[in-house]
Structure 1
């Protein structure tokens, strides 16, 4: 261990300062050792004082190259979909891949100079950096026109908890647009933007895509850099495209995929061209004769995905029928069982509270990534009452479950869940040796009616509204497999049979074979009309 010699004016640590810290940890030192360790900690403080400002190495944007103007909170937020409006673009784009397109960023994604609420009033943060995906979108010629509303701390699946207000379903006011990328789903569906970025830790791209009748892809873990975004945990965090159709989804993925030298979740190897050539492969499939589009592909209808407790049978029937239509496109379609799929949700929900230090307290560790030093400095070692009160029911429950688990179970519970989730990943891999993709309903029930009083309805009611909503989506966050939601029909809501809302079909692929998900989705989309199917 190398010791830094303190300067004359450096902080000097005394035994008097160290003693209460020791007592708080249940430790004691002899007087001699207390003096020596105080001297060592004085050296530690000198090392801290010698550190340069890390802002110099952060991806701070060149505002002449990437100007942003007209930053404001809109009076008309499109039924809750907008958090903040802005016009941000590159004056000298590197390509015209997204030329003329407008894009919304989920409001947990950093765009320098624009507030980033993460859907909550827990802290106020205006980033000084741009997320990698934001820079890549502007470099591809698109214009970012705002931040889309997201649910409170990105921990809700029903769109009534954002600090900026409830987000209404584009097909029926008063119903959920899904979450947590609720604003992104609505804005794409209504045509307010051409494209949007969502983030997904348990289904937060796919759930609103299903609810809003659009296409949403959770890419393979690590394919798209998560640099410059607020997340839950590096092992679960995914970001990806949301679009009106599959080709646009592939186009946006092509613009944002690939290593950025910050995010160590990304492989430092070539991926056989599939990493950056998605649109060509999608176009190649849709130009084929209908009956040959998916020739040679094997599609597995994942039985457990249709057996979620209290699922809506209408949705199961619609998705199963949509999956069977893939045989008309040349695919071989048959059933497959992956028993671990049913067990994954309980493991995920038990595992989730252990992520509280990173997701709510701003602690970051264990990965080579961009650390958001300014944002994490806004929260202490524990939440204040005001910060806790600013959370939605999902986030507040997670914090309380974390405190409970720390006291009653310790770190062993987290370790146990982490090991069990490895078997979930292995079980998908075994099934995907025999199938190119697996099919489930994205969400087992139609979107719920928004509560009259938003998140003040109380945690039990709001969390029961989201019951089972993650059952088919959260497993692939744990395993890293790509999964896309494609609209395939409409189903009546539980509250009113005259209100019919979109139904999504989820297509799960092998890791780093996102193109298989896109090809299957594109073939179905180009052959059938989901609004009349």
Structure 2
């Protein structure tokens, strides 16, 4: 495409920005050096980029019609089939619209990505098609996935099928509603602060944020690489286990994944959910209850549901993890400064990691940032302003300190998990929030981020965490969250399966 040579004024501006105090004669010398180094860039530019091969043919599909999309869950309808036989044969599967599906438009809930058509399938998409699953839709998500509500999404909000006067939760709002309303059997969601578990809780389905790195993030739009997770959402524990079995495992392209992780299948999750449960011990985390924004009926229903496990031979005890109350504060600099670096300064890709970089995202999103940043949602505008200020004024100190403290937070959970097989608390402190089409500035942000108290800490530490629907209060679902040790999703699924059996 040809690389632009910087002008003397370009270098002068950079010199001023970084306080280099270079004179024009010095800048001319650097300009000659830059010109020489750009020859490598030119040679690099002449090489074709590496993009994973698209295995299966597909047609473009279409936007949904109103009659099939009453809650706004769908953003694009399609029918993509892979192999004829496999573990997912006969399953209809939706994909969150921050995940790349080749040839299918992708918005990531934002005007910023209008016109973007991916040229590759995310690893999770390829694995679903390899196992005979049918991809039937891309689902609406919150604008650039930076909200736990369902009111910021473009082109439309997502409403709760249990009561359309309420939000569905986010950012994987459409995936949750597509499952809850029966449009599909299962869906892929993403989670950086609770975005699988929050909507699963608010619409009353199962949703699992796996261990950090268990499911490859390759081909999904990153918010912050140390927080990024993809995972399954479904109406039953068996379907969660089945989809996890298909999508989990190393792909060799995602540095979030440990080298020791096997390729699929990591474990036969579906066969493990019916195993022996006697002798299992769970800890009810005291600090996960009674937040300032907690609803009493949510706390009570979660606590009562957890105690019923004792009737099935599971030992239930209260455990105190004081640092849990600081988990959201530890997440905040990572989420804000990390997202500023990755999404804004790094054009959706960032730096400093190995693996596959989705350069197509950087080209379109980076150019959109230059031409129409006004279209960014207020959530991301707020992140940008605070994140850049903190990076500029405090030299990355608070991001680094939060990452250091995350080691202590992980150890606090691990210490409890050495005594207990799993930890339990409410997924969100409250039931679904009411949808407001024209919220005030303050209401907008409460609707976006006012529910991540219990979910965000486990994105920081990477522990697997799953929402389990345990009942209704005032007509709205209540979710209980099960947290486990690294790569012990099978234990979480086994306990979740017991809750599901208790409901029948």
- Using the size of structure 1 for normalisation, the TM-score is 0.88
Q: Distance in 2 between matches of 1:75 and 1:462?
A: 28
Superposed CA offset, 1:221-276 (max 9, x none): 00000000002111000000000000100000000000001001112225699823
SS of structure 2 residue aligned to 1:169: coil
* Aligned counterpart in structure 2 of residue 106 of structure 1, from 96, 105, 111: 96
Q: Is 1:328–2:311 an aligned residue pair? A: yes
Aligned twin of 1:25: 18
Q: Distance in 2 between matches of 1:359 and 1:479?
A: 21
Superposed CA offset, 1:80-113 (max 9, x none): 00011111111x35x5100011110001000111
Aligned twin of 2:70: 78
* Aligned counterpart in structure 1 of residue 358 of structure 2, from 357, 365, 372: 372
Please state how far the C-alpha of 1:34 moved relative to its aligned partner.
4.5
* Kept after mapping to 2: 8 A contact 1:236/1:478: yes
Superposed CA offset, 1:150-185 (max 9, x none): 011101111111112111111111211110000000
Please state how far the C-alpha of 1:10 moved relative to its aligned partner.
9.5
Please state how far the C-alpha of 1:30 moved relative to its aligned partner.
6.3
Given the superposition, is the C-alpha separation of residues 11 and 452 from structure 1 closer, same or farther in structure 2, using an over 3 Å criterion? closer
* Kept after mapping to 2: 8 A contact 1:274/1:513: no
SS of structure 2 residue aligned to 1:247: helix
Q: Distance in 2 between matches of 1:424 and 1:13?
A: 46
Aligned twin of 1:319: 302
Superposed CA offset, 1:377-411 (max 9, x none): 234499458323x2333222212212332343331
Q: CA RMSD of the aligned region, Å?
A: 2.3
SS of structure 2 residue aligned to 1:21: helix
Given the superposition, is the C-alpha separation of residues 12 and 387 from structure 1 closer, same or farther in structure 2, using an over 3 Å criterion? closer
* Kept after mapping to 2: 8 A contact 1:304/1:339: yes
Q: Distance in 2 between matches of 1:80 and 1:240?
A: 21
Aligned twin of 2:321: 338
1:122-521 correspondence runs (5 A): 122-124=112-114, 125-270=116-261, 275-282=266-273, 284-285=274-275, 293-355=276-338, 356-360=340-344, 361-380=347-366, 383=369, 386-388=372-374, 390-453=375-438, 457-466=439-448, 468-492=450-474, 500-521=475-496
Aligned twin of 1:523: 498
Given the superposition, is the C-alpha separation of residues 508 and 272 from structure 1 closer, same or farther in structure 2, using an over 3 Å criterion? farther
Give the number of the structure whose alpha-carbon radius of gyration is greater: 1
Superposed CA offset, 1:28-53 (max 9, x none): 44677555533332221100011156
* Kept after mapping to 1: 8 A contact 2:141/2:174: yes
* Kept after mapping to 2: 8 A contact 1:271/1:512: no
* Kept after mapping to 1: 8 A contact 2:149/2:449: no
Superposed CA offset, 1:418-439 (max 9, x none): 1112211111011111001000
Q: Distance in 2 between matches of 1:227 and 1:217?
A: 18
Count of residues in correspondence between the two structures: 497
* Kept after mapping to 1: 8 A contact 2:148/2:195: yes
Q: Which runs of 5+ in 1 are unaligned?
A: 1-8, 286-292, 493-499
SS of structure 2 residue aligned to 1:114: coil
Q: Which runs of 5+ in 2 are unaligned?
A: none
* Kept after mapping to 2: 8 A contact 1:110/1:228: yes
* Kept after mapping to 2: 8 A contact 1:10/1:46: no
* Kept after mapping to 1: 8 A contact 2:246/2:264: no
Q: Distance in 2 between matches of 1:354 and 1:82?
A: 31
Given the superposition, is the C-alpha separation of residues 54 and 116 from structure 1 closer, same or farther in structure 2, using an over 3 Å criterion? farther
